[in-house]
Chain A
């Protein structure tokens, strides 16, 4: 009898600790043997080394509530440009559209630039690259995508695991409207499996520091 409540209390304290961490830093990359935490969805990295803990709101409790309360959402620089680049990254990295978006494939900056020019319906301009890189960095900082600047490679971030089936249907439609990306030419196809974990773990630390 006495162990029952203390276990429940421990459980709540454990949850509360992780919730506090998530509240300050957003999705967290943790060791894959970390026990599950209530309310946080686990998004495993493709190589299985780490697991992202992503806060998952019940439907109707997310950012939509801000709209209803008439509160301005969290500000982001150039919101439309950033949203466009996120759409393009989805089009490039979500190769298997029949499955879920997470974890997706690796896309390249070349692909993103090509799709961007295609969406704009004109030849690429020098200012485009500035906009794209800026948007990619913003999206990386908020865990929407993982952007490896050195290799020029991009993946979808852990936040996409919260997309519902309806969201994914909308995005599938969006991808159909965007021009198809050219085939990805990864910088080092052979090293890819080894190169992948390094930037990912670096990114996790960076995100934690922010």
Chain B
């Protein structure tokens, strides 16, 4: 059996729809479908019943007819089908061995298979066409129009909700798997709007129901837009190619005739292979060219290195020296009390003292600030309390 990824994907799609529909039933019957083969087994059993004619089948006959499947699988599925009523006893009495199959489950199975191939879009299109047909029927009543609108509103609400929830909660991979919800949305919305228009023209009193249909259509369109946005965003670097699995492309290139391959490129314009110089690359090239140029220009020179970083510290030092000389005013030393009184108020004196302290601490300046024990107290002075001390020049 040559199973490819594509086959597996198709099977997964069948299974997904089947699970959604039969989850409730299967839970009650104690048998969830966990394998696409089981679906085939179901079909084989129902096929066998179709072949059997009006006599019906016993379990043994059914397993014999489906001998390409394992015996116990068929028995189990037979049980399950019987429990949810797809297969019933020919006559309802104890010890009745013969069974008959109902036609509805088979139709359902066919319907599911079709839906899984087209994602239900085909059915939805047909439904919309039918609705348009029935509301434009001259014998249609207002109630029928209302029912139509309500059905469509529900369908599109479900569709939109599912998509919106997927967009907001699921991973991109999940979203991509469910992308069929967004397929052909424009056409669907267009058809629904046609029904809406017909109903609104015929029965203007239904405008309330029409509004809710419009709202559900808008919600669906929004959800599609969001989903597409997220998919395209994640497809990102590889553009929309990311929307298809890469396997599909590989299969296409391997299995196509030259004509088909050529047709893909039909209508695409190619430039001759040539180097590209985008403005950005030009800017970068010029920038790097300039950098390498200056690097070659200026080898490290010790003399210039010493001069350059000096500037800030040097001006700082000269400012301190000037301040110290201003305070000393030519004398070899000066009393701090005098300096404080000269400054007037404390705010100025504080600044002067800070400068003198800095001059004292500066290792390149020959000044010294020496504090003594005394304290001058003079209520009439600008700074009444002043510690005594001396600021003087020292020679090192």
Residues of A that sit less than 8 Å from B by CB: 12, 16, 19, 22-26, 39-40, 55, 57, 62-64, 68-69, 73-76, 79-84, 86-87, 90, 119-122, 138, 142-144, 163, 167, 170-171, 173-174, 177-178
11 contacts between A and B (CB under 8 A): A16-B266, A22-B272, A63-B278, A73-B276, A75-B275, A142-B274, A143-B274, A144-B277, A174-B286, A177-B286, A178-B286
Which single member of B237, B276, B284, B289 contacts A68 (CB below 8 Å)? B237
The answer to whether B272 touches A87, judged by C-beta atoms less than 8 angstroms apart, is no
Which single member of A64, A121, A170, A178 contacts B294 (CB below 8 Å)? A121
Cβ < 8 Å to A, chain B residues 240-277: 266-267, 269-277
In the complex, besides A19-B269, A119-B289, A122-B293, 9 extra interface pairs with C-beta distance below 8 angstroms are A22-B272, A23-B271, A40-B269, A68-B238, A81-B289, A83-B277, A122-B296, A170-B279, A174-B279
Closest A residue, CB atoms, query B285: A83
Closest B residue, CB atoms, query A24: B272
CA distance A82 to B285 in the complex (A): 9
Chain A residues lying within 8 Å of B270, measured Cβ to Cβ, are: 19, 22-23, 55
Closest A residue, CB atoms, query B276: A63
CA distance A177 to B289 in the complex (A): 13
Please provide the 10 A-B residue pairs with the shortest distance between their CB atoms, ordered closest to farther.
Answer: A76-B275, A83-B285, A63-B276, A26-B272, A120-B293, A170-B279, A39-B269, A55-B271, A80-B285, A121-B293
CA distance A79 to B288 in the complex (A): 12
Q: How many A-B residue pairs have CB under 8 A?
A: 103
Chain A residues lying within 8 Å of B269, measured Cβ to Cβ, are: 19, 22, 39-40, 55, 57
CA distance A125 to B289 in the complex (A): 15
Q: Which of B238, B271, B284, B286 has the most CB of A within 10 A?
A: B271
Chain A residues lying within 8 Å of B237, measured Cβ to Cβ, are: 68-69
Given A68-B237, A84-B285, A122-B297, the answer on whether A62 and B276 have CB atoms closer than 8 Å is yes
Given A39-B269, A84-B285, A119-B290, the answer on whether A170 and B274 have CB atoms closer than 8 Å is no
CA distance A66 to B290 in the complex (A): 28
The answer to whether A87 touches B282, judged by C-beta atoms less than 8 angstroms apart, is yes
Q: Which of A12, A120, A144 has the most CB of B within 10 A?
A: A120
Closest A residue, CB atoms, query B291: A121
Chain B residues lying within 8 Å of A82, measured Cβ to Cβ, are: 275, 277
CA distance A76 to B294 in the complex (A): 26
Residues of B that sit less than 8 Å from A by CB: 237-239, 266-267, 269-286, 288-290, 293-294, 296-297
Task: Tell me how far the C-beta of A102 lies from the nearest C-beta in chain B, rounded to whole angstroms.
Answer: 15
Given A22-B272, A24-B272, A142-B274, the answer on whether A119 and B286 have CB atoms closer than 8 Å is yes
The answer to whether B238 touches A25, judged by C-beta atoms less than 8 angstroms apart, is no
The answer to whether B289 touches A25, judged by C-beta atoms less than 8 angstroms apart, is no
The answer to whether A120 touches B279, judged by C-beta atoms less than 8 angstroms apart, is no
Closest B residue, CB atoms, query A169: B279
Which single member of A68, A73, A87 contacts B285 (CB below 8 Å)? A87
Chain B residues lying within 8 Å of A119, measured Cβ to Cβ, are: 286, 289-290, 293
Given A39-B269, A68-B237, A69-B238, the answer on whether A80 and B274 have CB atoms closer than 8 Å is no
Given A62-B276, A63-B276, A163-B279, the answer on whether A57 and B293 have CB atoms closer than 8 Å is no
Q: Which of B281, B289, B290 has the most CB of A within 10 A?
A: B289
Chain A residues lying within 8 Å of B276, measured Cβ to Cβ, are: 62-63, 73-74
